[in-house]
Homo-oligomer: A and B are copies of this chain.
Amino acid sequence: MPTTVLAEGGYQEFTLGSGEWFWLIFSAVTALLAIAVGFFLMKGVLAADQGTPKMIEIAKAIQEGALAYLKRQFRTILIILVPVAIVVFVTSTEVVEPSGQIALSFVESGAARTLAFVFGCFLSGLTGFIGMSLAVRGNVRTAAAARTGSLKAALKVAFRTGGVAGMFTVGLGLLGATLIIMVFQNTASAILVGFGFGGSLLALFLRVGGGIFTKAADVGADLVGKVEQGIPEDDARNPATIADNVGDNVGDCAGMASDLFESYEVTLVASIILGVAAFASIYPDQPGKWALGLIFPVAARAIGVLASIIGIFAVRATDRDKSAMAPINRGFLTASILTVMGTLLVAILYVGNGPFDEGWRMFAAVVAGLLLAQVVSRLTEYFTSTEHRPVQEIAESTRTGPATTVLSGTSSGLESTVWAIVAIAVALGVAVLLGDGNTQFTFYLVALAGMGMLATTGVVVSEDTFGPVADNAAGIAEMAGEFEGEGQKVMVSLDAVGNTTKAVTKGFAIGSAVIAAVALFASFIETAVEELLPAARIAELETTAEGVFNATVSKINVADPLTFIGLLIGGSIAFLFSSLAIRAVGRTAGTVVEEVRRQFREKPGIMDYTEKPDYGPVIDICTKASLRELLTPALLAVLTPVIIGFGLNYLALGAFLAAVILTGQLMANYLSNAGGAWDNAKKYIEDGNYGGKGSESHKAAVIGDTVGDPFKDTAGPALNPLIKVMNLVSLLILPAVISLEDDNIRYVIAGVSLLVLLASIAYSKRKGGGFGDESDVVEQALVDGGAPVGASAGE
């Protein structure tokens, strides 16, 4: 009889039989296959025609900018990662087998976890890098294909560019996790947390940095270009315009790919941590079956990857397709159906139908996740698409000016987040019903629902990357000015579809973050119990349906005053983070304006095309600024769990996490949907409603759109990795928090962390703060240009 069943930071009792090894090898091979498919797609994309010399020149400028960004970005991140890696090492604990034998010494476990952390950072960054560097090559080739007037060809290039990102996201994600399981086996979960943390932290950096970058460049380019110099948007003479295009790639491709890599990884990590315990509660006397809980998620992932590969190739426009949406939906549907069928087979044939109908229930949880993904996507679509009432109402409200435009968007955004959270609550309710009183198994089912949501990640990332590729291609087409007739039509249609896929996948990413976070939250409890109770007591708890979740020490009681304080502080994080992110956009935009002006001043030939603007420094400065602004949000993510955990206690830390998930989700959906709705209300008016482009309504809509820019592209999406970084930091420090509970050193740790954080926040607000800063620069613009700038600062 085993004496312990547990969690990361610890040892999981199971044995890998030949069946298990089959699935592990199958999974590794599938992962390698996905990577190979990625290379194959890449080759196809790169072989496509690049169009006219002018198009190539524009595209080169964007590529140059992207490279400059990535160089600086990774250099800066490297510096920040060193101290974080040390913390990861120091907070490790030795892993002990139930027999008392040491499975991994402190140094072994620390070294492995730190390596896994670095590995996670590397793969997450690599995913972002590949996604972006293919996107900046695919854009011009998509435009070239569109120029021939063939929707079929253009869709193929654009979607396969996205497919590269998709294949590397799932291939690298699955490969990394599978390798760690193969190498570390029973101690794998302890190592996987480090891996997940690395992936999440890098995603946070890319999301926040990219978000600030893209919106700062957007606003900055408009302020100087349109207002001061009177040149149109997307004019190649404006050095910041390229940064603007780079920003779209940075934010939407690199950020999103890394973000979904992280969600993909973290749901898998959570499932693996929870799976063994869940099966131990079902088969307390058959330790041979416990590995099922660990292998099923891996096998399900592998099936999802195979289905995604087929799905990507299924995206082919036929002659009957009027827009690109139909073939994309066919591809997604193909992948989903194949995933469901494959998962059903694995659940029934491999897991089987034991005392708890567990195979069926696990299959149902995965399907619930797939359905939730659909519901959340449809909700996002309803609240942000021009075809539904909310956006049309916002467009209508532009007739009474910018104030009512902002108010109607706010009201609609606030409402949208409520329905999203209700959908998530219903999905959790389904997991509870399926769990039928067994809490261990219920949490495993929650994690599996998260797996279901992300099962078709390969296609989702492709869809998402397709958006900015089509967007950029349209931009190149407009700048080149060489598109007409059928070619132009194809380009416009592709761009419109790209906007839809982008919005839909955003809701997806946020919804999956919450499910993943809830599953991680369960891991938090398991880890706490393991630290607090003797192995014998844990074994005893395992025989109950509630498992370790029934232990008094594991009850995060919000009716306890200290715990309630944790809840209050946790809830405020999303508000502070959003405030900082929105402010950072305003400030960085000011820096961009200064640099662009300098170039126009020092290179007067730019305007008459005798001199070329230098895109590198603009992007470099913009990157530097956005990365400097990034520090405070990052410290907020890493230090607040430390302050709460060491300053109060582990229960307050648990409530803190619950509140972080709650308000993080609420704010993320609110900000993203309000921003998306304003953006599309503007597009709806530009389509000729309420007076069309140039009308008073349009001006009001542009203001709404500018308000929404940092909402939807900076603060909103970054809350997603933020939630998970905080979860994982809490998991990492938990053993130390518990073991130092009676040691006053904990107050020193909390105090120092608090001081560092406060200093960072003060630094962040230092320079006359936010929007005021940029005004010094812009005042001159107003004098010169004579027009209110904000009204024209939209994309």
Binding site for B on A (CB under 8 A): 223, 389, 392-394, 396-397, 399-408, 410-412, 414-415, 417-418, 421-422, 424-425, 428-429, 431-432, 435, 439, 442-443, 446, 518, 521-522, 524-525, 549, 552, 554-562, 564-565, 567-569, 571-572, 575-576, 578-580, 582-583, 585-586, 654-655, 658-659, 662-663, 665-666, 670, 696, 699-700, 702-703, 706-707, 710, 768-772, 774-775, 778-779, 782, 788-791, 793-794
Contact = CB atoms under 8 A, between A and B. Distances in A.
Contacts of A392: 772
B790 A400 contact: yes
B571 A421 contact: yes
Contact of A788 (B401, B428, B579): B401
Contact of A393 (B414, B702, B707, B770): B770
16 contacts: A393-B771, A401-B790, A402-B703, A403-B703, A403-B793, A404-B774, A414-B578, A417-B572, A429-B562, A429-B565, A431-B561, A442-B561, A559-B658, A659-B659, A662-B663, A696-B788
B707 A655 contact: no
Given A404-B771, A554-B557, A575-B670, 18 more contacts: A393-B769, A400-B788, A403-B703, A403-B790, A404-B793, A407-B707, A407-B771, A408-B770, A408-B771, A408-B772, A415-B579, A421-B572, A425-B569, A439-B561, A556-B557, A558-B558, A571-B571, A662-B662
Contacts of A779: 399
Contact of A403 (B428, B706, B778): B706
B559 A549 contact: yes
B579 A772 contact: no
A417 to B, nearest CB: 6
Given A414-B575, A561-B443, A568 B408 contact: no
Contacts of A421: 568-569, 571-572
A87 B524 CA distance: 41
A790 B439 contact: no
A155 B453 CA distance: 64
B397 A771 contact: yes
A400 B658 contact: no
A399 B696 CA distance: 20
Contacts of A424: 568
Contacts of A702: 403
Given A401-B788, A411-B770, A662-B663, A422 B572 contact: yes
A428 B564 contact: yes
A524 B557 CA distance: 13
A396 B518 CA distance: 42
A754 to B, nearest CB: 11
A410 B400 CA distance: 21
B549 A554 contact: no
Contacts of A789: 400-401
Contacts of A393: 768-772
A775 B399 contact: yes
A532 B786 CA distance: 72
Contacts of A554: 557, 559
Contacts of A706: 403-404, 407
A793 B583 contact: no
Given A403-B703, A558-B556, A666-B572, A772 B410 contact: no
A721 to B, nearest CB: 19
B408 A586 contact: yes
Contacts of A775: 396-397, 399-400
Contact of A397 (B412, B658, B699, B772): B772
Contacts of A772: 392-393, 396-397, 408
Contact of A560 (B418, B549, B579, B582): B549
A425 B700 contact: no
B576 A407 contact: no
Given A400-B774, A401-B703, A772-B397, A557 B557 contact: yes
Given A558-B658, A700-B788, A772-B396, A793 B518 contact: no
The DSSP consensus for interface residues of chain A is helix
A649 to B, nearest CB: 11
A568 B417 CA distance: 11
Contacts of A583: 408, 411
Contacts of A788: 400-402, 696, 699-700
Contacts of A568: 421, 424-425, 428, 662, 665
Contact of A562 (B411, B432, B556, B575): B432
B397 A700 contact: no
A407 B443 contact: no
A603 to B, nearest CB: 26
Nearest to A581: B411
Given A431-B561, A567-B662, A389 B556 contact: no
A614 to B, nearest CB: 26
A22 B569 CA distance: 43
A559 B402 contact: no
Contacts of A586: 397, 404, 407-408, 411
A521 B557 CA distance: 12
A766 to B, nearest CB: 11
A638 B653 CA distance: 31
Contact of A389 (B400, B411, B522, B769): B769
Contacts of A659: 659, 662
The 3 closest A-B pairs by CB, nearest first: A401-B790, A397-B771, A403-B706
Contacts of A443: 561
B396 A771 contact: yes
Contacts of A565: 425, 428-429, 432
A562 B226 CA distance: 54
Given A555-B555, A775-B399, A791-B402, A418 B579 contact: yes
Nearest to A561: B432
A558 B439 contact: no
Given A442-B561, A557-B556, A769-B393, A567 B411 contact: no
A217 to B, nearest CB: 16
A663 B435 CA distance: 30
A424 B401 CA distance: 38
A366 B410 CA distance: 39
Residue with the greatest number of chain B CB neighbours at <10 A, chosen from A428, A556, A569: A556
A659 B557 CA distance: 13
Given A411-B579, A435-B561, A561-B428, A790 B404 contact: yes
Candidate in A415, A425, A790 with the most chain B CB atoms within 10 angstroms:
A790
Contacts of A556: 557-559
A572 B418 contact: yes
A521 B771 contact: no
B791 A558 contact: no
A731 to B, nearest CB: 14
Contacts of A414: 575-576, 578-579, 582
Nearest to A554: B559
Contact of A791 (B403, B560, B582, B770): B403
Contacts of A442: 561
A437 to B, nearest CB: 11
Nearest to A558: B658
A662 B572 CA distance: 9
Nearest to A514: B568
